[in-house]
Amino acid sequence: MTVTTHQDVGFETFARTYTTYLETRHLDEVRAEDFGRLDEQGLIYLDYTGSGLPGRAQLRAYHAAMNSRIWGNPHSANSPSRRSTAAVQHARRATLRFVNADPDEYSVIFTSNATGALRLVGEAFPFQPGGRLALLRDNHNSVLGIREYARTCGATVETIALRPDLRADPAAVLDVLDRSASKPSLFAYPAQSNFSGVQHPLDWISDAQARGWRVVLDAAAFVALSDLDLSKYKPDFVPLSYYKIFGWPTGLGCLIARNDALAQLRRPWFSGGTVIASSALGGWHASAAPPDNFEDGTPDFLGALGVSVGLDYLRQTLDRDTVRARVRCLTQFLLDEMAQLCHGDGTPVCALYGPGDTRGRGATIAFNLLDVDGGIIDERVAEDRAVQHGIALRAGCFCNPGVGETIFELEPADLIRVGANRAGLRTIDDYRRAIGLPTGGALRVSLGPVSNFADIVGFLRYLGSWRDYRATAEGLAGFPDRERC
């Protein structure tokens, strides 16, 4: 679809092409009732991959539950303790229902976030010489960090490259998985890229398992809008962060794990809550049964109460099929408009990264802005102007260096050279200059349950403000070095 102005797109024109959008008007009512603060504050929120937003009714339901009962530490037998224990167990069951997992096959282990869940897997997986860790280049740093445990234990680490469209070649994936390992091995990849929105094939799970691999499926970005069915796809380990799904609580995640995979893990330590008994003098401990032996200390029992409330809110209020229909329309429209937006001389304003349509992708779009000479506009300058336009987007590398290295076509030899000469490099900009990167990353917009057409029009007006812009060194004045990615 072509819109000539890219500034004031008429809704009627949009709706004639994206007729399904008209069937999602229910979400406009939800936005007005539960997310009215967006329009009251004049904010165009486009960072749903960074964090979901809690609804007003969701928070009211949580506060009502908090105020109507007394909640105590679950490690006791008094009534507040039993009530909290019941809330934690209810949240486990609700989480398993959310991903359609059989409680006889899967357990839910509460963690501080998805990163904590991944660390638990990394530190406890039985890596050893003869074992392997295979990582897609498109992985969050929290997944890449597992390689440090693997290397320390003598396992081989291999990274699978991406094509220019930021998907992995299925043949290359199978080539890695086909190489047999004599010891326990782990394959880790995201169901959806937090950088580009690319959704990687879930069939790789069974492909890997049939070849003797355990599988970590990072679903943190995926489940915000997409359904994960663990009765069909059966990864061994699935990390989640609840705030990515429904905005709150922000300090609680989980590891959903197959019980047979949990039995293979060996924790390097124990703590309060993870043991049946221990002896200070005798130097021994007896671990509790899963999931308790993986949950350090007192669980976030009040946060668990919020999990149940949040999942109820998703089911009762938002209707995920309707949400997906809406964001699919908005995402395709936005991709088309961004691809067509040009400077006066016909050169593009946006460099888009990843697929150009909504097939096999989520509602996340990564890009850089280009000036009239074709140079990348520093993402800090772009983000600063976005703030002035009342837009919340994301700028940087999104904790996903592998995709950044792919889009900028970096050579492994150059990265190895910089890694071997890190002395004196203190900031991410020091590394950027040493590598020769033109900028520190990219820009990312992501849509969510109550995104609407007006949000997209406002963002297109922002993009239009960059037409015929020429970047200068003076434009970076006042921006200090980026400290980190």
Residues designated catalytic? 399
Read off the amino acid at residue 458: G
Indicate the Cα dihedral angle 267, 269, 275, 279, nearest 10°. 140
Across the beta sheet with 364-369, the strand order is: 350-353, 364-369, 442-446, 394-396
**What type of residue is 470?**
R
Instruction: Give the closest residue to 191 by CA, choosing from 181, 200, 204, 180.
Output: 200
Give the integer Cα–Cα distance in Å for 86 and 101. 20
Determine which helix (DSSP H) or strand (DSSP E) holds 44, and give its type and residue range. strand 44-45
One-character DSSP codes across 212-230? T-EEEEE-TTGGGTS---T
Q: Which residues pair with 189 in a beta bridge?
A: 217
Q: What does the block give as tokens for 307?
A: 């999990």
The alpha-carbon radius of gyration of the chain (Å, integer) is 24
**Strands 442-446 vs 275-278: parallel, antiparallel or unpaired:** unpaired
| Cα–Cα dist 428/379, whole Å | 14
Rama region for 298: left / alpha / beta (φ>0; ψ in -120 to 50; rest) = beta
Cα 202 to Cα 13: distance, rounded to the nearest angstrom: 36
**Cα–Cα distance, 89 to 304 (Å, whole number):** 9
Tell me the three state secondary structure of residue 275.
strand
Q: Is the Cα torsion angle 380, 384, 389, 394 positive or negative in sign?
A: positive
The phi and psi torsions of 295 (rounded to 5 degrees) equal -105, 110
Q: Which residue type is seen at 457?
A: V
User: How many Å apart are CA 148 and CA 225, to the nearest integer?
Assistant: 31
Read off the amino acid at residue 84: S
